[in-house]
Amino acid sequence: MSTLVSPPGTADSARPKLISALVLSAFLAISFGVAALGGISTIGNVNGWYADAGKAFWTPPNVIFGPVWTVLYTLMSVSAWLVWRERHRTEVRPALTAYIVQLVLNALWTPFFFGLYPVIGASALWIALAIIVAIDVMVLVTMINFWPKRHLAAVLLIPYWAWVLYATTLNVALAVMNTR
């Protein structure tokens, strides 16, 4: 009995590559969806309350944030995609669950930090601080979970983790300096 196997280069051999490209596109779309949600919260407030708020001397200019987050969201997406590609060799669900949790927390931080400050004042900055500390922890948990699946995936998250730790210091400074 013979098995029907498609020769290389046929539609059947291209299907896994197409699926992989679609999954990478989905990871990118989800990450940039989170970025877009953050942008909605930020737009009216960066030049509003945030412009006049007391900030740490190590706060970068606002123009830095967009390019940095673009690179970080891209690295995060590629990282998650690399782990997803290992699904036939190892169980990746817990690792990707950690990734999703940190991404949800990431999506929550911006509306609390920027969007709620005009409504509830400095309390929003303290709530945002609790969220960003949870992000710090969850990014580390994600990296630890990614490492045995695909080392490169964990390494690609290092710049994100470093940036979030840095952002945590900015959040602390803002909360302390703007609490009345």
d(CA 150, CA 37): 29
Residue 5 has a pLDDT of: 52
**pTM of this prediction?**
0.88
Residue 123 has pLDDT above 90, yes or no: yes
Q: What percent of the chain lies above the pLDDT cut of 90?
A: 75
Ramachandran region, residue 8 (left: φ > 0; alpha: ψ -120 to 50; beta: rest):
beta
φ, ψ of residue 88 to 5 degrees: the values are -85, -15
Q: What percent of the chain lies above the pLDDT cut of 70?
A: 93
| Structural domains in the chain plus CATH codes | 21-177 (1.20.1260.100)
pLDDT digits (tens, 9 = 90+) for 76-110: 999 999 999 999 999 999 999 999 999 999 999 99
